[in-house]
Chain A
């Protein structure tokens, strides 16, 4: 157990739908990163939050959004889902927003869009 908790582990939904993925960072970590892993793209950085504030954006689609709550857990919202959104979604956490030491990943959520 890495200390980073992601739920649900598996999600199957239809095209056009909206889903929410949840991540609880490791105790004491303030920063959360979201990544998408598909077969042909490897791990792609989506977005980072630090202590409730958006810190950096990567290749995140406009249909996707995220937030980090006061208790530091984060949610990734995916809307108007398309078949191509099927992937593994990982979150990672670090103690700070400016240092990548202790970068720890959760076990991921496998999203299947049918």
Chain B
């Protein structure tokens, strides 16, 4: 069936470097995408979202890029900090329906 998946299960970066986490989705009808951060023992925490009528959205230290042509989503974290270490999930949905999550990428920030 339709699915959302992540290219890399783990990503290790040095503190201060930029991080890029990628996500592929297969449902061309999806019109809303969200990135979540999940720390150990906690629920997913909203980072940034983007609607399908946009191709880029920026937040504080984070940028989401959407390429609908190849059904690809990425999360860029600038100047990665130790507190950014967590599992990151992308999620997609067709408006009004529940989010469909990928399996997650573990980001490890080393000093």
Which residues of chain A (14-67) have a CB below 8 Å from chain B? 33, 35, 41-45, 48, 56, 58
Chain B positions 75 through 111: 1 when the CB is less than 8 Å from some CB of chain A, otherwise 0: 0000000000000010101011111111110000000
Number of A-B contacts (CB under 8 A): 53
A97 contacts which chain B residues (CB < 8 A)? Answer: 96
Q: Which of B42, B43, B49, B100 has the most CB of A within 10 A?
A: B43
Set B36, B42, B97: member contacting A107, Cβ < 8 A: B42
C-alpha gap A45/B2 in the complex (Å): 14
A106 contacts which chain B residues (CB < 8 A)? Answer: 43
- CB of B93 within 8 A of CB of A42, answer no
- CB of A42 within 8 A of CB of B32, answer no
- CB of B95 within 8 A of CB of A42, answer no
- CB of B101 within 8 A of CB of A90, answer no
C-alpha gap A101/B99 in the complex (Å): 11
Set A2, A42, A99: member contacting B96, Cβ < 8 A: A99
Residues A58 and B42 in contact in the complex (CB < 8 Å), given A42-B103, A103-B34:
no
Q: Which of A4, A100, A106 has the most CB of B within 10 A?
A: A100
C-alpha gap A43/B88 in the complex (Å): 12
Set A33, A42, A90, A107: member contacting B102, Cβ < 8 A: A42
Residues A107 and B43 in contact in the complex (CB < 8 Å), given A42-B103, A45-B98, A56-B98:
yes
C-alpha gap A43/B42 in the complex (Å): 13
Set A2, A90, A100: member contacting B93, Cβ < 8 A: A100
- CB of B44 within 8 A of CB of A105, answer yes
* Nearest CB in chain A to that of B94: its residue: A100
C-alpha gap A99/B36 in the complex (Å): 17
Asked if B28 is at the interface (CB within 8 A of a chain A CB), the reply is: no
- CB of B44 within 8 A of CB of A90, answer yes
Asked if B18 is at the interface (CB within 8 A of a chain A CB), the reply is: no
Q: Which residue numbers of A lie inside 8 Å of B, CB to CB?
A: 2, 4, 33, 35, 41-45, 48, 56, 58, 90, 97-101, 103-108
Q: Which 7 A-B pairs have the closest CB atoms?
A: A105-B43, A43-B101, A42-B103, A45-B98, A98-B96, A105-B44, A107-B43
